């Protein structure tokens, strides 16, 4: 009797293991693989005027290093608006120097007011209000376009009905395991939001590389119901206004930006915690799709270890695991090539096991620290 019940439980666990593998294969083959087969439409001759908007707080070093790459883009008609948000370092002086050298640069300075505290969204709003052009392109002060065709490629994605363009904002390659994990995490998030957008379920974008029409912003009352939250000037805005008709993607290499990565685990953990605070405000359908993938991945690895320990149906167990592994390795490799993320494929296969646990720890940490203040950026 004991053997019968033990076998029955193991059979149920094997069925759940197989089901989790099927769910994983669905995400990889339906969503993630779509990046590889996606064909960007040919660039049109029309190059509309563009306003690039950057919000900066105490970004003296980053502006000095990265702003020239934006001000020296190969594009006929654009302006760059930097909102200097209460900086206390040398940001004001750097911008003053660049104002003399670059006629495209415009600066809006915000000063501290003890009677009025604000988050990054207010600075973003000031930048949008100051923009002269309908097409707005956003990035951060610690970001650098990888080519002088960045504006051209991102603006070319705007067609007649396009109001929103999702770009790729990766991180600069550095030595160390932390940097590889940060780049892996960014890669997987991009595979997810690009894949879902291609499959007509756009749900988020990243402020490191994002474009939309000025009219879209004001027609939806700016940041609307989430204006009081410190985060979400990018992903929550996209989540609230994006549709399969008005959203396009642009991830050709020349359209990428690269950001300065966190140098310590503590700073990355803080940044990741801030990003994950917005997930609870996503639309229900999006939340279900987003939680299903890591949950099925956790179940897949856990049940594999359990069933392998019990030596249950080992040939079938290995066959299912191998099938998922081969599909995963192939699609991650193809995605790394598509998004120009070198040297990540092998590390990604290892990080894939632990990332659901790491994200769960961050979610739990956020839950017990809801009263804590988030940083501006």
Residue 92 is assigned to a structural domain of this protein: yes
Q: Buried b / exposed e across 100-126, counting CB within 10 Å, b at 16+?
A: eeeebbbbbebeeeeeeebbbbbbbbb
Q: Are residues 157 and 302 in the same domain?
A: no
The span from the CA of 110 to the CA of 302, in Å, is: 51
The span from the CA of 227 to the CA of 212, in Å, is: 18
The total domain count for the chain is 2
Tokens at residue 155, please?
């603006």
CB-based contact 349:301 (threshold 8 Å): no
pLDDT at position 42: 63
The span from the CA of 143 to the CA of 342, in Å, is: 19
pTM for this structure? 0.92
Angle at the Cα of 149 (from 145 to 154), degrees rounded to 5? 80
Residue 279 is assigned to a structural domain of this protein: no
Residue 106's CATH number? 3.90.550.10
The boundaries of the domain holding residue 336 are: 2-36+285-368
Residue 346 is assigned to a structural domain of this protein: yes
pLDDT at position 120: 87
Q: Are residues 25 and 123 in the same domain?
A: no
Residue 254 is assigned to a structural domain of this protein: yes
121 half-sphere exposure, CB direction, 13 A CA radius: 18
Q: Are residues 71 and 129 in the same domain?
A: yes
Q: Are residues 30 and 72 in the same domain?
A: no
Q: Are residues 156 and 299 in the same domain?
A: no
Q: Are residues 125 and 92 in the same domain?
A: yes
Sequence-distant (≥ 6) Cβ neighbours of residue 27 within 8 angstroms: 292, 293, 296
pLDDT at position 118: 78
Q: Are residues 193 and 304 in the same domain?
A: no
pLDDT at position 2: 46
pLDDT at position 375: 55
Tokens at residue 76, please?
């006929």
Residue 227 is assigned to a structural domain of this protein: yes
Residue 80 is assigned to a structural domain of this protein: yes
pLDDT at position 377: 59
Which of 207, 232, 264 corresponds to the end of one domain? 264
Per-block average pLDDT, block size 10, for the chain (377 residues)? 69 96 98 96 78 96 97 97 93 95 95 76 93 97 97 95 96 96 97 98 96 96 80 88 96 97 92 84 94 96 95 94 97 97 94 91 76 50
Q: Are residues 216 and 290 in the same domain?
A: no
Residue 10 is assigned to a structural domain of this protein: yes
């Amino acid at each position: 009797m004991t053997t019968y019940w033990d076998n029955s439980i193991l059979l149920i666990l094997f069925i759940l293991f197989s089901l989790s593998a099927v769910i994983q294969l669905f995400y990889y083959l339906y969503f993630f693989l779509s990046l590889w087969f996606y064909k960007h439409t040919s660039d049109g001759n029309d190059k509309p005027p563009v306003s690039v908007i950057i919000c900066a707080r105490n970004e003296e070093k980053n502006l000095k290093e990265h702003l020239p790459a934006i001000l020296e883009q190969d594009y006929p008609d654009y302006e760059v608006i930097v909102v200097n948000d209460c900086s206390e370092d040398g940001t004001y002086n750097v911008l003053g120097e660049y104002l003399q050298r670059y006629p495209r640069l415009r600066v809006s300075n915000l000063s501290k007011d003890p009677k009025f505290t604000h988050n990054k969204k207010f600075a973003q709003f000031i930048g949008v209000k100051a923009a002269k052009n309908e097409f707005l392109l956003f990035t951060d002060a610690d970001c650098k376009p990888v080519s002088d065709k960045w504006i051209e490629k991102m603006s070319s994605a705007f067609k007649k009905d396009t109001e929103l363009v999702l770009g790729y904002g990766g991180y600069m390659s550095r030595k160390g395991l932390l940097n590889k994990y940060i780049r892996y995490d960014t890669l997987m998030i991009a595979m997810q939001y690009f894949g879902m957008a291609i499959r007509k379920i756009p749900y988020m974008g990243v402020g490191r590389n994002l474009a939309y029409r000025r009219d879209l912003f004001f027609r939806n009352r700016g940041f609307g119901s989430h204006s009081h939250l410190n985060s979400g000037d990018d992903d929550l805005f996209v989540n609230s206004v994006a549709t399969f008709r008005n959203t396009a993607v642009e991830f050709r290499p020349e359209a990428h930006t690269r950001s300065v990565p966190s140098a310590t685990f503590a700073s990355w953990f803080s940044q990741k915690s801030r990003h994950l605070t917005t997930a609870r405000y996503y639309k229900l359908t999006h939340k279900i799709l987003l939680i299903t993938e890591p949950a099925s991945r956790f179940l897949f690895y856990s049940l594999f270890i359990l069933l392998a320990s019990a030596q249950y149906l080992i040939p079938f167990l290995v066959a299912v695991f191998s099938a998922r592994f081969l599909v995963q390795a192939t699609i991650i490799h193809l995605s790394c090539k598509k998004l120009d993320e070198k040297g990540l494929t092998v590390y990604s296969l290892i990080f894939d096991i632990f990332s659901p646990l790491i994200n769960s720890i961050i979610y739990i940490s956020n839950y017990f620290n809801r009263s804590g203040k988030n940083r501006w950026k």
